[in-house]
Structure 1
Amino acid sequence: MARPIIIDCDPGVDDAIALFLALAHPTELNILGITTVAGNVPLHYTSQNALKICALANRADIPVYAGCPRPLIRPLSTATDIHGATGLQGTELPEPIQPLRVQHAVAFLIETLQQAPEPVTLATLGPFTNLAVALIQAPQIADKIDTIIAMGGAITHGNITPAAEFNIYVDPHAAQVVFESGIPIKLITLDTTHQVLTTPKQLAAFRQLNTAIGHAAADLLAHYGTPEIERYGMQGAPLHDPCVIAYLLQPELFTFKDTYTTIDTISPENLGRTVIDWWGRTEQPPNAQVAASVDAAGIYKLLMESF
């Protein structure tokens, strides 16, 4: 039986690669819906990008719902310097085949989870705003969520501030709501995703697949990689969000460690920092499993086979 999942995202280049990967595996992943949130770019673009990705993947059967246009409390911060003004700089995707659903993403989350015959897995690739609002409105849905697999946070260094990773920084208050919910969380941080680098050799391999998605992935990642490579001195662009889908398909590619994790919502210097008690110094009970290792070569093998 395919695992029932909802993908909450803010496409975004790496979100696009993650969605391409998920959409390629209908027998393993039963995607109940894709919900979009403001993050990498404003909500209009994230929603349209999700529809375009579904069109290129010939998966117009997957409903897409637009969610929250801004964080709970703070003004929206975007990452247009990384993803481009529209979020998918570097390629032209086909126009959407299907319209955006009228129902708000938060309403969809609440309704779908309440009616689900079995617990649903949430794959979160952007800020936690949609999920936090859903949990505030209908806290009982927590019992219908099997696990949250999230890309976010950092054990060591941030990528939007010295302390904070982008997804958590955009809406730290929403992240805190989720981490205090009691829902099982698997968190894949920058410390892991920065090991999954798209080198020129891998870009060439995507192109050599000679498929529409292979070419689109290479075009997107070639543009996306430039500022990341220059900033961090890396050999290629890190694939953050695809790690979430890779875990759902091949969990053996990762190891995790039980930790207590909280979000800094107060300190100006550390706002949005994931405070991860890796060594159990606080003696607080664990509330998340944080990725400890990743098989990067295995992820690229999975991408190549899928694309």
Structure 2
Amino acid sequence: MIVVMKPNASEEQIQKVAQRIESYGLKVHFSRGTEVTILGVIGDDRIINRDQLVHMEGVDKLIPVLKPYKLASREFHPENTVFEINGIQVGGERIVVIAGPCAVESREQILEAAQRVKEAGAHMLRGGAYKPRTSPYSFQGLGEEGLRFLKEASELTGLPVVTEVMDIQTLPLVAEYADILQIGARNMQNFPLLHAVGESQKPVLLKRGMSSTLEELLMSAEYILTHGNHRVILCERGIRTFENFTRNTLDINAAPALKMLSHLPVFIDPSHGTGRWELVEPVSRAAVAAGADGLIIEVHPRPDQALSDGAQSLTPERFSALMQNLAPVAQAVGRSL
């Protein structure tokens, strides 16, 4: 349930309503808009005496929330969530582009990649220090050494770092180096990990599971939001279908659908979504046109030598061309790069 206050409701009236809700053992989430304040009731609100609540001073109306995800719902938070990471606004007018290699392979490789994507206009740097791989014989990442290389690249270029955290045990270490914690598709429903990243209060980029519905993605985001960590980015990275020409099937519907259902920023990963570098640029343009707030793109100085995901990685030159070609699309939908 949400409580919509009247436009002229005083702060004292708002606080009295919140105290009444909390007296039932429930929690309150405040959403303060330009016109009205909305109080989201978190918990089993069936115990509330609604007749008393609706007649309290300053209350306009009570609206039931039927969706199982409350904090992630646009009903709870009608306006888009916009937040800053190292001075970069996420969820606002600018399309945020995260770029870099799938995995940190060496100091030289990540420093070169970081400099090249920075020159092309990227806003943040991606790179995996810990890599979840289908085969146990595939490259698993450099671990803490990779995190140190990422930090050095960040300090050199000024780009904030986005890197994946795979488990609770390595979370404190990864959080020391990362500006954004990425939860990969395989961990989207790792609920203990979701609780832990929520408690960390670090920004989180939450990727959709390969066979997960949009509602399941939003319910996973809810785990993070319940800890008061509201800097959550939803990321569509392709789902598993019968199609085998592409690595996954990018659900372009996810961008406008998630924006309809939720107030959280929505990013698209065209690299994992297609698995083919030739498709990354056209799908990136489609994602921006569909309303995505950002992109996460794999860029490697030498994709033919990459230890992981070389087939879907752009060269720095191709990434630079993509950024130039994205600009008019962003402008056409009232956004910028």
TM class, shorter-length: 0.3 to 0.5
TM-score by length of 1: 0.32
Compare relative contact order (CA 8 Å, sep 6+) and give the higher one, 1 or 2: 1
| The structure with more radius of gyration | 2
